[in-house]
Amino acid sequence: MLEKIKAIDDRYEEINNKLSDPQVIANQEEYRKLMKEHSELEQIVAKYREYKKVQEDLKSAKELLDDESDEELKELAKAEISEAHEILTKIEQELKVLLIPRDPNDDRSVIVEIRGGAGGEEAALFAAVLFRMYTRYAERKHWKTELLDSNPTELGGFKEVVFSINARGAYSKLKYESGVHRVQRVPTTEASGRIHTSTVTVAVLPEVEEVDVQINPEDLQIDTYRSGGAGGQHVNKTESAIRITHLPTGIVVTCQDERSQHKNREKAMNILRSKIYDMELAKKESELAAERKSQVGTGKRSERIRTYNYPQGRITDHRINLSIHRLEEFLDGDLDELIEALTLAEQTEKLSAM
């Protein structure tokens, strides 16, 4: 492991030298590529250099123990040696985690799709609850959210809602949310007070640039129509809503939340790019079925990942068998405890595989 990290340290220094080369600076594409690699290696290199510093301290303490005759100083040296060994063990574990291959999409922003599943209006109402939960989580992180498309119901739910979260690293946190979310509660529409079980499907897509996905304009069928919504709104009066069908894949995306047809089209294309990219990712992952088992965050869309039990105030994540008994805070966007547990579970499985 240390040999591998030494090679990373050497590469880091090589990049440092290149970044001060005027020819590299003049080549913006190469400069950006090197800066990205520099940023990715920085944390590993800093931890490795911390490791080497502790090793030097350990060596000095051992020399003091061998050379010193004063018993008090020997005891101090022994304490330093013991502490250094503990720190080295801790840093070694941290370095192992840093060496786990990173998901190349972790630094990306995301597009989130929430759709009501089984349960009719109750599922639509819970889709609205999850929409609020994720937007509250984004607010806590000071991340920017933007509504891309929605199909609201009369009671305040959503048949579907699509929105983006624009923040570096959003995908690394929210990728674990893809799957089927199950809710158990007494619906507001239920007079008898019986507990119902409904489901909502969440898809978290990494947001991609035009350079990441090439789309042939001839492969697109673009339709315009009048936006839905409350009567009398401006959006109802003009054909500003956009529906784009990608003919080779059959993917259909819509966007109707902007007054401008141009803006709706731009947003719809962003969603389409992310869906095509996600489809390609899914193909690659299915080809690596054995590896997929160790990827906690990339479960099948049809997989039931979590249950929200209102009577017991409990959230249970079925992938790691973890239950949290603070439903209200969780639905208000306090997701970090569960996200950290899912991240740790995935890291542990990948370390075992390594």
Q: Are residues 45 and 156 in the same domain?
A: no
Q: Are residues 194 and 66 in the same domain?
A: no
The two three-digit tokens of residue 34, written as one number: 């090197």
Q: Are residues 117 and 61 in the same domain?
A: no
Within a domain: 208: yes
Within a domain: 104: no
| Residue that is written with structure tokens 């990942």 in the block | 305
Whether residue 311 is predicted with pLDDT greater than 60 in this model: the reply is: yes
Q: Is the pTM of this model over 0.75?
A: no
Domain boundary among 99, 134, 155: 99
CB proximity list for 339: less than 8 A, separation 6 or greater: 173, 174, 176
Contact 276, 246 (CB under 8 A): yes
Residue 155, domain CATH? 3.30.70.1660
Q: Give the residue from 115, 351, 123, 349 showing the smallest Cα distance to 254.
A: 115
The predicted structure's pLDDT at residue 237:
56
Q: Are residues 6 and 82 in the same domain?
A: yes
Report the distance separating Cα 188 and Cα 89, nearest Å: 54
Q: Are residues 91 and 141 in the same domain?
A: no
Q: Are residues 226 and 85 in the same domain?
A: no
- What is the domain extent for residue 256? 110-350
Within a domain: 254: yes
Domain boundary among 52, 75, 99: 99
Q: Are residues 210 and 284 in the same domain?
A: yes
Within a domain: 46: yes
The predicted structure's pLDDT at residue 71:
79
Q: Are residues 249 and 290 in the same domain?
A: yes
Within a domain: 236: yes
3 state DSSP class of 166: strand
The predicted structure's pLDDT at residue 210:
72
Within a domain: 105: no
Q: Are residues 167 and 215 in the same domain?
A: yes
Q: Are residues 132 and 240 in the same domain?
A: yes
Report the distance separating Cα 17 and Cα 240, nearest Å: 52
Domain boundary among 76, 99, 122: 99
pLDDT tens, 24-37?
899 888 988 899 88
The predicted structure's pLDDT at residue 294:
44
Residue 32, domain CATH? 1.20.58
The predicted structure's pLDDT at residue 144:
94
pLDDT tens, 321-351?
999 999 999 999 999 999 999 998 888 887 7
The predicted structure's pLDDT at residue 255:
87
- The domain total for the chain is 2
Within a domain: 70: yes
Within a domain: 205: yes
Q: Are residues 201 and 339 in the same domain?
A: yes
Report the distance separating Cα 168 and Cα 21, nearest Å: 28
Q: Are residues 177 and 306 in the same domain?
A: yes
pLDDT tens, 113-147?
999 988 888 999 999 999 999 999 999 999 999 99
Strands 241-246 and 304-309: unpaired
